[in-house]
Amino acid sequence: MTDFQPKSDFLRILKERGFIHQCSDFEGLDALAAKGKVVAYVGYDCTAQSLHIGNYLTMMMLYWLQQSGNKPITLMGGGTTRIGDPSGKDETRAMRTIEEIDSNKAAIKGVFSKVLTFGEGPKNAQMVDNADWLTKLEWIEMLRDVGRHFSVNRMLAMDSVRLRLEREHEMSFIEFNYMIAQSYDYVELARRLGCNLQMGGSDQWGNIIMGVDLGRRMGTHQLYALTTPLLTTASGAKMGKTAQGAVWLNAEQFSPYDFWQYWRNTEDADVGRFLKLFTILPMDEIARLEALQGSEINEAKKALASAATELLHGKAAAEAAAETARKTFEEGGTAASLPSVEIAGSEVEAGFGVLAAFVKAGLVPSNGEARRQVQAGGLRVNDVVVADPAQVLSPADAVHGGAIKLSFGKKKHVLLKLV
């Protein structure tokens, strides 16, 4: 890969921005891309109410694909999610109900239009759902047409299966079939939409390659595979995890402000890499930001946060988040746009315990945790450290335009609004 010099814009951009981990055939794919004839898809699981940062990476690949004159397809895994992908998992996840999957699917769909342009045109993005064909298959027919092309010997050698077997962890038959379903998806999309490239995370390599292989055996045009590297931070942690959980792409589950903060807190060593992967800033601008040293790197982090947030949540949301952060951190003031939680004024008049207030604000999960944090000096009311767990809040504390500012640690702030 390192010595391959792509001629097409698509692969050139992906390569210089660090999206490429493995590809089944660089030359072949490059030739197609140069002619704008790539129709690529990425499959998305419907296991949660929102996609997360890992998915953002493949969405960016689809973005560059479309920008370079090719056609992107987003595949909703309405069918495959009913099976459950065993790749990279030690144990079977809880089975999801069909209602749950459908509800997740509905919640996820909207996010793609933030980055891709959908429509009927030949280069417009298209969304499909594999439930449309997978749920209609006939068992015997499926075995004869598709099943005969799969070697169980090879399937057993796949990482997703082998690792389970080696560790003597259970793998049920339904999961064993996941790769067949995914391979079949690829062939189906090749036939229906002329799809010729499947992209995904590096853990999907095996599944994708199986699809390429199935296509050859079933007589489709040549199919290609392209994967991105596993996302980790410079210090080795899995990306996308925060105190609250995953970094979701839906604003309802992870606010634009939190999203902005997530990128703002990037480790120094990751800034350049993330700018290339998660923003569409031009490469020379990234090179300039990357060259910053010492505390100047903070400028690069702000640029990263704003650019990434703008792409996903829009310019207004990104600017608001940046402004809130500036007031909060650089001026030490209180921005009215900090996340807020409402509380009945009457409740506070009667005297409201600090511990309960922090729980109410959602900053700590329990009274006990709040109590511990008081001991550790981690809680502040209106920027004053809470020293006494028995402290009581009153309406007089609502000094920020009818709100009390509660802080947990240095970075998490919530306004408790009296109503």
Partner RNA sequence: GGGGGAAUGUCCCGAGCGGCAAAGGGGGCGGACUGUAAAUCCGCUGGCUAAGCCUUCGUAGGUUCGAGUCCUACUUCCCCCA
Q: Tell me which residues touch RNA (CB under 7 A).
A: 168, 170, 235, 237, 241-243, 261, 264-268, 294-295, 297-298, 301, 325-326, 328-330, 355-356, 359, 365-369, 371-373, 375-378, 408-412
Sequence letter at residue 182 = Q
- Judged by CB, which is closer to RNA: 77, or 378? 378
To RNA, the closest distance from the beta carbon of 239 in angstroms equals 11
CB distance 354 to 391 below 8 Å: yes
Which one-letter DSSP state was computed for residue 95?
A: P
- Judged by CB, which is closer to RNA: 5, or 295? 295
In 3D, which of 256, 257, 259, 288 has the Cα closest to residue 272? Answer: 288
Kind of pairing between the strands at 403-408 and 384-385: unpaired
- Judged by CB, which is closer to RNA: 216, or 380? 380
- Judged by CB, which is closer to RNA: 62, or 325? 325
CB distance 304 to 311 below 8 Å: no
**3-state DSSP assignment of residue 417:** strand
Q: How far apart are CA 18 and CA 247, in angstroms?
A: 21
To RNA, the closest distance from the beta carbon of 128 in angstroms equals 35
- Tokens for 340, please give them: 């807020």
Place of tokens 């703008």: 310
Sequence letter at residue 247 = V
To RNA, the closest distance from the beta carbon of 255 in angstroms equals 14
What is the per-residue burial (b if ≥16 Cβ within 10 Å, else e) of 380-415?
A: bbeeeebeebebebeeebbebeebbbbbbeeebbbb
- Judged by CB, which is closer to RNA: 127, or 359? 359
E-assigned strand segments in 186-302? 197-201, 224-228, 241-242, 245-246
To RNA, the closest distance from the beta carbon of 397 in angstroms equals 20
To RNA, the closest distance from the beta carbon of 402 in angstroms equals 25
To RNA, the closest distance from the beta carbon of 313 in angstroms equals 16
Q: How far apart are CA 367 and CA 358, in angstroms?
A: 8
Helical (H) or strand (E) element with 102: helix 98-109
Q: How far apart are CA 137 and CA 143, in angstroms?
A: 10
* Dihedral angle, C-alpha 227, 230, 233, 238, nearest 10 °: 140
To RNA, the closest distance from the beta carbon of 329 in angstroms equals 4
To RNA, the closest distance from the beta carbon of 103 in angstroms equals 23
Per the document, the length of the chain is 419
CB distance 395 to 418 below 8 Å: yes
CB distance 35 to 29 below 8 Å: no
**3-state DSSP assignment of residue 357:** helix
To RNA, the closest distance from the beta carbon of 298 in angstroms equals 5
- Judged by CB, which is closer to RNA: 141, or 170? 170
To RNA, the closest distance from the beta carbon of 269 in angstroms equals 7
- Judged by CB, which is closer to RNA: 119, or 377? 377
Place of tokens 């952060």: 325
